[in-house]
Amino acid sequence: MGRHSIISPLDGDHPHSSVSAKQHYKMLVLGGGSGGIAMSARMKRMMGAENVAVVEPSEMHYYQPIWTLVGAGAKTAASSGRSTASVMPSGVKWVKSKVEEINPDTNTVRTDDGTEISYEYLIVALGLQLHYERIKGLPDGFEHPKIGSNYSIQTVEKTWNALQNFKGGNAVFSFPNTPVKCAGAPQKIMYLSDSYLRKTGKRSKAKIIYNTSLPVLFGVKKYADSLWEIVKQRDLQVNLRQNLIEVRADKQEAVFENLDKPGETTVIEYEMLHVTPPMGPSLAIKGGPLADEVGWLDVDRDTLQHKRYPNVFGIGDCTNLPTVRTAAAVAAQSAILNRTISKTLKKEKPDKKYDGYTSCPLVTSYNTVILAEFDYNLQPLETFPINQAKERRLMYHMKADLMPHLYWHGLLRGLWGGPGPYRKLLHLGMK
């Protein structure tokens, strides 16, 4: 993958000699996803591009929220990606390597090519890890038709293929027994599949089944009540506390365990299967000094500063912030974290608190969305002066057309975000 190409003669002639390849930055950002790029843009403004570096191995950067629509054929996979080079703030150093180890006691990070980078301040934005391999029969099962997953660029178009080729039978959708990013996505594809099958005249031949490990359909009661109504109206079968443990792709069988009666399993034959993989902490954090007991980055929920290392900060999916992991949460967190860091640099106490704001645009058809916005306490924290628990066309256009634009041209440039990012959007619209 050309990982060593970033070591230019200026960095030392020998990529594998950590002495010659040693680099130092005032602000080192780990991860080039939404949180990492947004914060590196903000840090460039705060301390100058030459003082900031981003460690990220991937050549491509993806706007993942749109994969829900890619899996349903409403957007193309190509539209979700841009080159990492194009989103990296100009002048900021891009270290095209993978983080191997973080040593906060010596303020150093080691990458997979042996380079050691030292820092004064560190922002960890490493996202989370997908674990398809924790489901027996995967990821190999994706080589068979009729199975897909909107959580990976490798498998999202397989979802659309399975939906297009559906003739009749069970269409099955799963939600794993782990924390996940965008907790609404596993059911959004169910509603879209239902809409597609109605549009193509195949709905009467289909039984749509949503098996979730959770004890609820959605964590916030106000939105869950609306979703249960939709489930009833559209004749969708929801089974709670069911966890996907095995896929027999050659036989088109999915095996679920009943979490309330461990050991009790159900085998369901499928004609289409959408898998949401188990997820877990970044392996570069887990088990290291920055992790909590589970493996997530251990940050203060108000300020996003690390609990034990005051020169370390975190943002997004890699943290143990008790909120739902979404791009909207990253947008809200980026403004708070920016404030926390600027105060820390001045040796002052952070004065802005993150309230846990997150948002999940629950796509319920090809032209409607329920816009869920809420805080740490799972209380609605809504932007618009309307009942957001109702399905609305306007919110669909915001999700499908406006948000990607704001992501590429606002969030990633460190220009958009703050408590309730949609509020900022409203203000922009009124200007």
Smallest CA-to-CA distance from 134 within 269, 277, 255 is with 277
Asked whether the beta carbons of 376 and 329 are under 8 A apart, the reply is: no
Q: Which of 43, 95, 128, 182 is catalytic?
A: 182
The answer to whether the peptide bond before residue 380 is cis (omega within 30 degrees of 0) is no
Query: Is 318 designated active site?
Result: no
Query: Helix %, strand %, coil % for the chain, to 5?
Result: 30, 25, 40
Asked whether the beta carbons of 259 and 243 are under 8 A apart, the reply is: yes
Contacts of 24 (CB under 8 A, 6+ apart): 117, 118, 119
Residue type for position 415 = L
CA–CA separation, 181 and 261 (whole Å)? 26
Residue type for position 376 = Y
Radius of gyration of the chain (CA): 22
Q: How many CB atoms lie within 10 A of CB 407?
A: 23
Strands (E) located in 68-187? 81-83, 93-95, 99-103, 108-111, 116-124, 128-130, 147-148, 169-175
The helix/strand/coil state of 1 is coil
CA–CA separation, 62 and 327 (whole Å)? 12
Tokens 């559209």 correspond to what residue? Answer: 234
| Number of residues written out for the chain | 431
CA–CA separation, 212 and 111 (whole Å)? 37
Token pair in block for residue 407 = 């992501």
Quote the Cα angle for 41-47-48, to 5°: 70
Asked whether the beta carbons of 186 and 276 are under 8 A apart, the reply is: yes
Task: Work out whether strand 265-269 and strand 253-258 pair parallel, antiparallel, or are unpaired.
Answer: antiparallel
Task: Work out whether strand 358-363 and strand 369-374 pair parallel, antiparallel, or are unpaired.
Answer: antiparallel
Task: Work out whether strand 279-281 and strand 128-130 pair parallel, antiparallel, or are unpaired.
Answer: antiparallel
Query: Is 360 designated active site?
Result: yes
Q: Which of 360, 369, 370, 412 is catalytic?
A: 360
Which residues participate in catalysis according to the annotation? 182, 360
